[in-house]
């Protein structure tokens, strides 16, 4: 039976905020998020970015490592994008100041 491993939760108001690193039941993928069941028994939902589906045969540690690798890759891409923006923004500022007659 498949389960959801809660890997993150940046919203402290979500029902699974205190369950990071733990598994919850996987009921379905509804197309926009995962359907699960709270410890109290209520059906509720988990955002895609906050959990991964694991098989009982899968090693949860390997799933966590894989998820961490994906997060690091996304952060590296964001860092590179911000560096490009910063680099181009600085060049534009120098050009504008040069047009105004200021020296940089």
Check whether 14 has a pLDDT greater than 90: yes
pLDDT confidence bin for 45, thresholds 50/70/90 = very high
pLDDT confidence bin for 85, thresholds 50/70/90 = confident
Average pLDDT of the residues in 60-86: 79
Check whether 104 has a pLDDT greater than 60: no
Among candidate residues 29, 26, 20, the one with its CA nearest the CA of residue 3: 26
End-to-end CA distance of the chain: 64
Supply the pLDDT for residue 24: 95
> Which letter does DSSP use for residue 49 in this model?
G
Check whether 70 has a pLDDT greater than 90: no
């Amino acid at each position: 039976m498949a389960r959801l491993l809660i890997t993150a939760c940046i919203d402290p108001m979500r029902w699974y905020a205190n369950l990071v690193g733990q598994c919850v039941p996987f009921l379905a993928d509804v197309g926009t998020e995962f359907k699960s069941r709270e410890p109290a028994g209520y059906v509720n939902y988990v955002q895609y970015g906050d959990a991964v589906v694991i098989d009982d045969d899968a090693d949860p540690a390997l799933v966590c490592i894989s998820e961490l690798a994906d997060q690091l890759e996304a952060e590296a891409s964001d860092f590179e994008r911000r560096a490009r923006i910063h680099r181009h923004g600085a060049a534009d500022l120098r050009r504008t100041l040069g047009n105004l007659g200021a020296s940089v």
